Structure 1
Amino acid sequence: MTINQKMYYILFAILLFTFSKSKAQITIGNTSLDTSTLANHLNTPWDLIYTPDSSLFFTERIGKVSRIDLINNQTHLLIDISPKVEAIGESGLLGMAINLNMAVPRIYLVYTYKDSNNTFFEKVESYIYDSNQDTLLFDNKLIDSIPANTYHTGARLVLHNNQLYISTGDAGNTSLSQDLNSLAGKILRINLNGSIPNDNPINGSPIYSWGHRNPQGLYFANNFMYSSEHGPTTDDEINIITKGENYGWPNVHGFCDLANEITFCNDSNVTEPIYAWTPTVATAGISYYEHSAIPEWNESILLATLKDSRLISLKLNSAKDSIVTHSEYLINTFGRLRDVETNSWGEVFIATNSTPHRIIKLHNANFTSINEINSHKYEVKYWPNPANEKLKIKSSNSKINNIQLYNIDGKEVLNKTTATKNLELNTSVFNSGLYILKITFDDKIQIINKVVIDHY
């Protein structure tokens, strides 16, 4: 099947989506965005993760994990672990991380529970994802006995270089954040089997950084680990997380700008945030947006906030280590916002923390013209599929400007600029698996498809 034929199928799915889901339009600066409700009347959706097979996974605080198939817009419940989850206040099933690019795909979950003494704790578990049955099966307990509470639990997960990072809150006990014998108020790092990396800053400990109050956003981009953190009544923060660093809580709120804070910062080598808010905005989930579909947000950290119900765009400098502008959007449009997710096609997904608790997609429908995509001008053939050593690509009419290849984790593994109708990719250097092929023509029209690399 050619890409042109597949585009007709995608067009049909989009049209079906248009008539089956609620849809409206909003304006971001000079850009008009279509908004569509993907799921509604949920039980506090908390974490969103997009995967390149056109799926959007999400957790619900009560103890559910589901997947939205973005092609047919169907929601599938993968597992319900609510019997072992204690979901009171801000606790429950919270963060998630996904690794589909392995022999046995796994999803990692963090949730709060009560032990036999009625004490709150937090644990991280791995689950095997059976894509054929679209279900999760318990695999392994990775880390347990993290101090927790009905609030200040942190509980954001992120995967990077086959290691799992876990944010934890101070569990309402501020002294724990500076206590290196406690796992509360930290960013933790473990291997995917639960063992401790040999190069962690403290030998035999999962602690990666400390001095945190309640970090509820954690995202890796631009070779940095960005974090959003709730302050008390002042100084919500955006931090860049670095191994072995102290971020100051509870002795420092925001920057080291008061006399007692300066002393502690100097004595404890505290790392300051790259941005802080007073009054607070109630920081929640973060993502990084890098696409020209919404130029107002390009090369920015997107921050979901609970207070005043807004999405904040934080434009980064060229080095990506400093925030140069701060802009607010969607104020009181969708209610309190819990999480935000992006994908490489320029779409944005939002989880709301207000009734009716929904997941919303925002995209610039004018960025890529469906009518143009479906014309024979953009017919492309590629073979063989599955590919072993080589993948050949041929455009019928338009010159190809750029080829990008993404693995199933969404990591770009190839970015090739060209100006030809025919090219050949060396696929021998990539692992066997499912990949997403993104083709950009010289007039900026883009098409996508799935390819399989199989080294037999």
Structure 2
Amino acid sequence: MGPDGILYITTGDATTPETAQDVNSINGKILRMTLDGKIPSDNPFPNSYVYSYGHRNPQGLVWVGNILYASEHGQSAHDEINRITPGANYGWPVIQGNEQKTGMITPLYQSGEETWAPSGLAEANGKLYAATLRGNAVREFQLSKKQTNSVVTGLGRIRDLYIDGDYLYFVSNNTDGRGNPDENDDKLYRVLLRDL
């Protein structure tokens, strides 16, 4: 839910990359709709749920004030953190990583040849926190410094996270068939943000 009371939804390209560039398809998009399923009159494309396009596999969304950020899986690397602008084209499959093309947005952060597989996204104190699956970490993104690093490691695949007050909550996802579960996986964890 956005601060405007509207629902925002991520959709992957469904392994048909070219549909991410087609504003008449809902694949590879961030969509925006009212709670009763209607198209908001101020959406960027008339009579369309499409809010932004050119995404491969966006996963997490978080609002920082009135700014929307999204985490996104690249094909096999070049995972992204994007600042979302209504009607903007985020380039997939035409560009990825730091590649540039007129009319397309390059990400705030991208993983290069490394794979994070970011999913859930949260914010506190000017920092974004992303759960990462292949990255096996909670990753911190300092918006003012454009820096990133892993702040929680050693627990395997992290699927989602949530911030409440001084605490970061996150869940591991090692029993999904892609991880290496311990006997007692999966778990919900709670850590103090100041300890990260």
Relative distance call for 1:234 and 1:189 in structure 2 (3 A) is: same
Alignment deviations for residues 285-337 of structure 1 (CA, whole Å, 9 cap, x no partner) = 110022xxxxxxxx2101111124111111121xxxxx5221212221x2110
Structure 2 contact 166–194 (Cα < 8 Å) conserved: no
Query: Does residue 274 of structure 1 match 2:108?
Result: yes
Matched with 1:327 is 149
Provide structure 2 residue ranges, at least 5 long, that are not aligned to the other structure: 175-180
Matched with 1:58 is none
Provide structure 1 residue ranges, at least 5 long, that are not aligned to the other structure: 1-157, 257-261, 291-298, 318-322, 367-456
Matched with 2:129 is 302
| Deviation of 1:187 (Å) | 0.5
Partner-residue secondary structure (3-state), 1:220? strand
- Name the CA distance, whole Å, in 2 between partners of 1:189 and 1:286: 18
- Name the CA distance, whole Å, in 2 between partners of 1:220 and 1:273: 17
- Name the CA distance, whole Å, in 2 between partners of 1:285 and 1:270: 24
Relative distance call for 1:311 and 1:181 in structure 2 (3 A) is: same
Structure 1 contact 235–277 (Cα < 8 Å) conserved: yes
Q: Which residue, out of 167, 178, 188, partners 1:347?
A: 167
Alignment deviations for residues 49-100 of structure 1 (CA, whole Å, 9 cap, x no partner) = xxxxxxxxxxxxxxxxxxxxxxxxxxxxxxxxxxxxxxxxxxxxxxxxxxxx
Aligned positions of 1:54-453 closer than 5 A? 158-256=1-99, 262=100, 265-266=101-102, 269-278=103-112, 279-290=114-125, 299-317=126-144, 323-332=145-154, 334-343=155-164, 345-354=165-174, 355=181, 356-363=185-192
Relative distance call for 1:357 and 1:190 in structure 2 (3 A) is: same
Alignment deviations for residues 269-291 of structure 1 (CA, whole Å, 9 cap, x no partner) = 1111111112121111110022x
Structure 1 contact 186–208 (Cα < 8 Å) conserved: yes
Partner-residue secondary structure (3-state), 1:175? helix
| Deviation of 1:365 (Å) | 9.8
Which one-letter code corresponds to 1:161 in the other structure?
A: D
Partner-residue secondary structure (3-state), 2:153? coil
- Name the CA distance, whole Å, in 1 between partners of 2:27 and 2:156: 30
Partner-residue secondary structure (3-state), 2:119? strand
Relative distance call for 1:237 and 1:199 in structure 2 (3 A) is: same
TM-score normalized by the length of structure 1 = 0.39
Matched with 1:294 is none
RMSD between aligned alpha carbons? 1.7
Is the radius of gyration larger for structure 1 or structure 2?
A: 1
Which one-letter code corresponds to 1:353 in the other structure?
A: N
Q: Which runs of 4+ in 1 moved over 2 A?
A: 363-366
Matched with 1:66 is none
TM-score normalized by the length of structure 2 = 0.89
Query: How many residues end up aligned between the 2 structures?
Result: 185
Structure 2 contact 168–193 (Cα < 8 Å) conserved: no
